[in-house]
Amino acid sequence: MSDALTIALVAHDQKKDDMVAFARRHTELLSRCRLVATGTTGGRIAEALPTLDLTRLRSGPLGGDQQIGAMIAEGGIDALVFFVDPLTPMPHDVDVKALMRLAIVYDIPMALNGATAEILLNALLAQHTEKAHA
């Protein structure tokens, strides 16, 4: 799995069920990737899909978003799926913004809602399959 893609998965509390459902729908592709996730999101995904290769970082409000941002800056993340809750104020809003900002700075494919995440994952799958057959 040395050339496996590394995908970061993050979801705010109101979006965690959606993230688990998303991961379930895409278990086939995700099982061929390395996954990193913020703490609680990662816990929920690992509980539902224990066979995935998933590294849990700190919880978002305790630095998990920043850890993923640092990984992006170091070239360690190929795509970010971040299910954002736009209706709830967050104490770590600055961290959320900083993570999105770094994904933009480093031009990392970033999906912030379910519809875009579906398109992103399908595109990654097509790209990766193409590469594997090149």
Ligand X SMILES: O=C(CO)COP(=O)(O)O
List of residues contacting ligand X (CB under 6 A): 10, 12, 38-41, 59-61, 64-65, 92, 96
Give 5 or 54: the residue with its C-beta nearer to ligand X.
54
Give 12 or 34: the residue with its C-beta nearer to ligand X.
12
C-beta of residue 52 within 8 angstroms of C-beta of residue 23: yes
Whether 65 is catalytic: yes
39 is known to lie in a ligand binding site: yes
**Nearest approach, Cβ of residue 61 and ligand X (Å):** 6
Give 113 or 128: the residue with its C-beta nearer to ligand X.
113
Residue 93 vs residues 5, 12, 27: alpha-carbon distances, Å: 28, 11, 30
Residue 82 vs residues 43, 112, 116, 124, 131: alpha-carbon distances, Å: 15, 5, 10, 16, 25
Q: Would you name the residues annotated as active-site residues?
A: 65
